[in-house]
Amino acid sequence: MTAPLVEIRGVSQSFGHIEAISNVSLSIAPGSYTVLLGPSGSGKTTLLSILGGFLTPTSGRVTIGGVDCTSLPPARRPTTTVFQDYALFPHMSVGGNVGFGLRMRGVARSERGRLAREALATVGLPDVFDRRPHQLSGGQRQRVALARALVVEPAVLLLDEPLGALDLKLRRQMQDELKALQKRVGAAFVHVTHDQEEAMALADQCVVMNHGRIEDEGPPDRVYARPASRFSAGFMGESTLMPFDVAAALPGLPPAPRDGAIAIRPENLRLERQPGLIALGEARVTTVVFQGSYKRVQAVSIVRPDLLFIARAEAGAAIAPGDICMPGCRPDDLIILSR
Amino acid sequence: MGAAVRLAASAYAVIILGFIFLPVATLVLFSLQATSFPIPPFTGPSLRWYGAVLSDTRLTAALANSLLVASLSSLVAVVLGFLSAWGFARFVLPRAALMRGLITLPLTVSYLMIGMGLLILFNTIGMPKSLLAAGLGHVVINLPLCFAIIYSQLGDHQITLERAARDLGASEARVLALITVPVMAPAIFASFFLSMTFSWDEFVISFLLTRFETTLPVEIWNLLRSGLTPKTNAIGSLVFAVSVVLAFALELLLIRRKPA
């Protein structure tokens, strides 16, 4: 295991009486893609601002590449940021924008132009050097912002909900490009989003945040398959969630931890009785939503009306609201959540 | 029905515009009078009185003084207004709301009060009446205006732009020079030209604070005391022409320019 590039140790950030981040510790490996995932107000953007140097944490330390950066201004850190609204300078050409960081580092004009053109080519925009930002589409501006941040060769690139302003199709396309770009340039990317699909598609390391704390952290497949907490299970995908008392009412289930719950991912929940499955009682189907490749089914338990089953049925399954079904799942697919 | 309403609307527009512009039109028309009195019948057109104005060294000196006072005082007002607006927009300052109120307060005080206050102040500290004194007075009346215009245009978007520049390694001075000022240029120029217009037309403060060298409005007033001639019309028309130029500059910068 290589030494971490970024180390965040016990960082807290208060705004007046509100603690936006409390006692967060996180390591980021060089050349990795880290996604900070959480709902608004979870502290993910605050943590990114602390990494970028726009905020000095109330307590704790941030080291990047072995250098204590806790209170170093943004200009003197090996980080650059891609802002949510791109923050392209409207009075400069695209080339002027991309070359800005080099200009601040005293790079000569001709060299600046060459490097800026190279960076633009890297993000797939070789022909926009002399245009103005307002002449570009949203997706193109996004790429220019990326080129501008990457041209100064940061050790860490910070991305603040970079795909938030793009339409869905473009967003999925940019996701793939971001991942490929990150592999190509080799810098560590730290990406903030509230979109779990984006997180799963991009992350080497997924950090789920809630109420200013890290709820869960790890590779996205692990976070999805074995979430560390109820919040993490609920935010990374959906699931049927059975708290302690609900689980106790269903025979065949192992006891749930007293403060925790048992969760089942929808793709693991069957709706008819089969050998080898744990039976979870009878349930009445409430909604069936056609999703293209499958049907999303919700059903309410007859024994425990506060228990909502979420399952995936085949796209061609004959199932309708009002039907009685027999939910069940394999013992291995039960996710035991201790909190 | 529609036609009647349209006719009424047009008539209304003509009356309003007539009410506003008839005095100016009359002024300009009789500045072209060939004879010695600016009263009907019209005897021109003749540029006789414009010649008289331009060969009157007192008037041309006053015109130059006015341009000097207007441009320099506006420049000072814009620089101070911009810096204070930037400070209020970017930093958390103690009692910011009160301080902003104090800066904009002179907008509500009459020029006469400001002029009298400055007269007493300058008297006390032994500063003689001069163009400099009048210019300082114009800074007092125009700074709040520049501040208000520029402050209103400094939004969150500029804050992100400045953050981006800092992030890419710009020092505070370069952030201001390379990002904030160019991005704010429309508001900065607009407040400059508006200040120019106000300073150019300003009479009371200049009257109270100048003595030997004075500005054009004060010189015109001196001229009026010796009776009406087409010469006063001619100089009035020239003043009006300069105001029109400034108003157009303002219109082009502030109103025509919409965010992209």
pLDDT in tens, A43-99: 888 999 999 988 888 888 988 988 888 888 888 889 999 998 889 999 999 999 999
Which among A54, A79, A101 has the least Cβ separation from residue B163?
A54
Q: Greater confidence, B165 or A243? A: B165
Rounded CA-CA distance A23/A38 in Å is 17
Q: At what angle do helices B131-153 and B185-201 cross, to 10 degrees?
A: 150
Which among B160, B169, B183 has the least Cβ separation from residue A75?
B169
Contact B164 A81 (CB under 8 A): yes
First to last CA, chain A: 30
pLDDT over 60 (residue A1): no
pLDDT over 90 (residue A324): no
- Residues A122, A251, single domain; the answer is no
Q: Dihedral through CA A131, CA A132, CA A136, CA A142, nearest 10?
A: 110
Contact B167 A80 (CB under 8 A): yes
Asked if residues B233 and B33 have their Cβ atoms less than 8 Å apart, the reply is yes
Q: Residue A82: enclosing H or E segment and its boundaries?
A: strand A79-82
Rounded CA-CA distance A13/A211 in Å is 12
Taking the CA of residue B196 and the nearest CA in chain A, the distance in Å comes to: 26
Q: Which of B92, B157, B168 to mutate to test the interface with A (most CBs of A within 10 A)?
A: B168
Summarize the confidence of residues B238-256 as an average pLDDT: 79
Taking the CA of residue A223 and the nearest CA in chain B, the distance in Å comes to: 32
Last residue of a domain, one of A230, A254, A272: A230
Torsion sign (Cα): B237, B243, B249, B253: negative
pLDDT over 80 (residue A320): no
Count of other CB atoms within 10 angstroms of residue A94? 27
HSE toward the beta carbon, residue B63, CA cutoff 13 A: 18
Query: Would you call A74 an interface residue with chain B, using a CB distance cutoff of 8 Å?
Result: yes
Token pair in block for residue A252: 């065949």
Q: pLDDT value at position B77?
A: 95
Contact B166 A74 (CB under 8 A): yes
Taking the CA of residue B249 and the nearest CA in chain A, the distance in Å comes to: 20
Which candidate, A194, A142, A225, A178, places its Cα nearest to that of A38?
A194
Asked, for residue A105, whether it belongs to a domain, the answer is: yes
Which among A54, A85, A90 has the least Cβ separation from residue B183?
A90
Rounded CA-CA distance A2/A134 in Å is 43
pLDDT over 50 (residue B232): yes
Q: Which of A104, A151, A159, A190 to mutate to test the interface with B (most CBs of B within 10 A)?
A: A104
Taking the CA of residue B90 and the nearest CA in chain A, the distance in Å comes to: 13
- Residues A172, A319, single domain; the answer is no
Q: pLDDT value at position A321?
A: 83
Compute and round to an integer the Cα radius of gyration of chain B. 23
- Summarize pLDDT for A211-226 with one digit per residue, the tens: 888 888 889 888 888 8
Q: pLDDT value at position A278?
A: 78
The total number of residues shown for chain A amounts to 339
Asked if residues A44 and A38 have their Cβ atoms less than 8 Å apart, the reply is yes
Contact A79 B167 (CB under 8 A): yes
**Which chain A residues contact residue B163 at CB under 8 A?**
54, 74, 81, 83, 87
HSE toward the beta carbon, residue B198, CA cutoff 13 A: 25
Q: Greater confidence, B12 or A168? A: B12
Which among A53, A80, A91 has the least Cβ separation from residue B168?
A80
- Residues A224, A316, single domain; the answer is no
DSSP letter at B252 equals I
* CATH code where residue A26 lies: 3.40.50.300
Which candidate, B147, B169, B173, B16, places its Cα nearest to that of B89?
B147
Count of other CB atoms within 10 angstroms of residue A25? 13
Torsion sign (Cα): A41, A45, A47, A50: negative
- Residues A264, A322, single domain; the answer is yes
Contact A134 B170 (CB under 8 A): no
List the domain range (segments joined by +) for residue A50. 6-230
- Residues A147, A189, single domain; the answer is yes
Q: Which residues contact B163 (CB under 8 A, 6 or more apart)?
A: A54, A74, A81, A83, A87
Residues 38-57 of A with CB under 8 A from B: 52-54
What chain B holds in terms of domains, given with CATH numbers, is 50-255 (1.10.3720.10)
Asked, for residue A19, whether it belongs to a domain, the answer is: yes
Rounded CA-CA distance A279/B22 in Å is 93
Contact A75 B167 (CB under 8 A): yes
- Residues A76, A180, single domain; the answer is yes
Taking the CA of residue B174 and the nearest CA in chain A, the distance in Å comes to: 9
Last residue of a domain, one of A197, A230, A263: A230
Q: pLDDT value at position B257?
A: 55
Contact B163 A134 (CB under 8 A): no
Q: At what angle do helices B2-31 and B230-250 cross, to 10 degrees?
A: 130
Contact A104 B182 (CB under 8 A): no
* High-pLDDT (> 90) share of chain A, %: 16
Q: B59, exposed or middle or buried, with CB in 10 Å at 0-12, 13-18, 19+?
A: buried
- Residues A169, A260, single domain; the answer is no
Q: Greater confidence, A119 or A255? A: A119
Task: Tell me which chain B residue has its CA closest to the CA of residue A90.
Answer: B183
Interface of B with A (CB under 8 A): 157, 160-161, 163-171, 174, 179, 182-183, 185, 260
Q: What angle do CA B137, B140, B145 make, to 5 degrees?
A: 135
How many pairs of residues across A and B have Cβ atoms under 8 Å apart? 57
pLDDT over 70 (residue B230): yes
Last residue of a domain, one of A181, A202, A230: A230
Lowest-confidence segment of A96-100, B123-127, B174-178 by average pLDDT: B123-127
**Which chain B residues contact residue A85 at CB under 8 A?**
157, 160
* CATH code where residue A258 lies: 2.40.50.140
Task: Tell me which chain A residue has its CA closest to the CA of residue B174.
Answer: A104
pTM over 0.95: no
Q: pLDDT value at position B255?
A: 62
Edge-to-edge strands, sheet with A6-15: A18-28, A6-15, A59-64, A67-68
Sequential DSSP letters for A173-219: HHHHHHHHHHHHH--EEEEEES-HHHHHHH-SEEEEEETTEEEEEE-
Which candidate, B81, B75, B72, B134, places its Cα nearest to that of B107?
B81
- Mean pLDDT rounded to a whole number for chain B: 86
- Residues A111, A244, single domain; the answer is no
**Which chain A residues contact residue B166 at CB under 8 A?**
73-75
Asked, for residue A301, whether it belongs to a domain, the answer is: yes
Lowest-confidence segment of B59-73, B105-119, B225-239 by average pLDDT: B225-239
**What is the domain count for chain A?**
2
- Summarize pLDDT for A247-299 with one digit per residue, the tens: 777 777 777 777 778 888 888 888 888 787 777 778 888 888 888 888 888 88
Q: Greater confidence, A219 or B43? A: A219
- Residues A51, A148, single domain; the answer is yes
- Residues A67, A208, single domain; the answer is yes
Summarize the confidence of residues A13-38 as an average pLDDT: 88
Asked, for residue A121, whether it belongs to a domain, the answer is: yes
pLDDT bucket at B259, cuts 50 / 70 / 90: very low
Q: pLDDT value at position B1?
A: 63
pLDDT bucket at A2, cuts 50 / 70 / 90: low
Q: pLDDT value at position A250?
A: 73
Rounded CA-CA distance A77/A70 in Å is 10
Query: Would you call A15 an interface residue with chain B, using a CB distance cutoff of 8 Å?
Result: no
pLDDT bucket at B166, cuts 50 / 70 / 90: very high
- Residues A125, A262, single domain; the answer is no
- Residues A221, A267, single domain; the answer is no
Query: Would you call A275 an interface residue with chain B, using a CB distance cutoff of 8 Å?
Result: no
Asked, for residue A40, whether it belongs to a domain, the answer is: yes
pLDDT bucket at B256, cuts 50 / 70 / 90: low
Rounded CA-CA distance A131/A137 in Å is 12
Q: Checking phi first, is residue B60 left (phi over 0); if not, alpha (psi -120 to 50) or beta?
A: alpha
**Which chain A residues contact residue B189 at CB under 8 A?**
none
Asked, for residue A1, whether it belongs to a domain, the answer is: no
Query: Would you call A304 an interface residue with chain B, using a CB distance cutoff of 8 Å?
Result: no
Query: Would you call A134 an interface residue with chain B, using a CB distance cutoff of 8 Å?
Result: yes
pLDDT over 50 (residue A129): yes
pLDDT over 60 (residue B258): no
- Mean pLDDT rounded to a whole number for chain A: 86
Asked, for residue A295, whether it belongs to a domain, the answer is: yes
Place of tokens 């009785």: A273
Asked if residues A98 and A151 have their Cβ atoms less than 8 Å apart, the reply is yes
pLDDT bucket at B260, cuts 50 / 70 / 90: very low
